[in-house]
Chain A
């Protein structure tokens, strides 16, 4: 119930491609779904987040799609660049403020 399942574990795309990372959850009490980006040697940094009453949120080249009925959400990166190469984590927050993280996706964008 408290798990967040993330896929794929790793992803390689060419520059300009649109990588898509998917997450699924079970607990319908989660009220906030952030995505974090982590570069080597750094801590995770909040990238974009969505609430379950919204089906899509876009910030720059990053878009979250949210399907409440399917209990799934995904991150799309438009016009991906080599600088986007990082590990991406989805998460879900319960009403007590606790974040449950997915396993992470290592993205590599080739020039």
Chain B
């Protein structure tokens, strides 16, 4: 596997279910990100982890719970979601969560989530 991988690629869940999204990066990066992509809207940054520490929570509802056990893995735990949470959830990684030359973000293919 190379780059940033995400599983599952598609997920359908009811509002009372609990599920988790998984992201793994094979780039040796130290920062990982969760974004939400809805149709016709800009990508919305949800969470940032830098060296396994959460450095940003962009006012995300508590029904989304991130977990970063190490610099290569990132999870997004989902519970009691709403239909408006249906979207493409993208994971990204970069060398560090800061500015600077060469600190580009690399994205995974995303998980298409549908909440019924």
Contacts and interface: CB of A to CB of B under 8 A. Distances in A.
Nearest to B50: A97
Contacts of B99: 31-32, 93-97
Contacts, number: 56
Interface residues of B, number: 26
A101 B35 CA distance: 11
Contacts of A101: 42-43
Nearest to A29: B99
A49 B104 contact: yes
Nearest to B39: A104
Interface of B: 4, 6, 31, 40-43, 45, 48, 56, 90, 92, 94, 96-100, 103-110
A12 interface: no
A42 interface: yes
A80 B100 CA distance: 32
B107 A44 contact: yes
Contact of A43 (B4, B31, B96, B103): B4
Contacts of A104: 40, 42
B4 A97 contact: no
Interface in A65-111: 89, 93-104
A24 B41 CA distance: 16
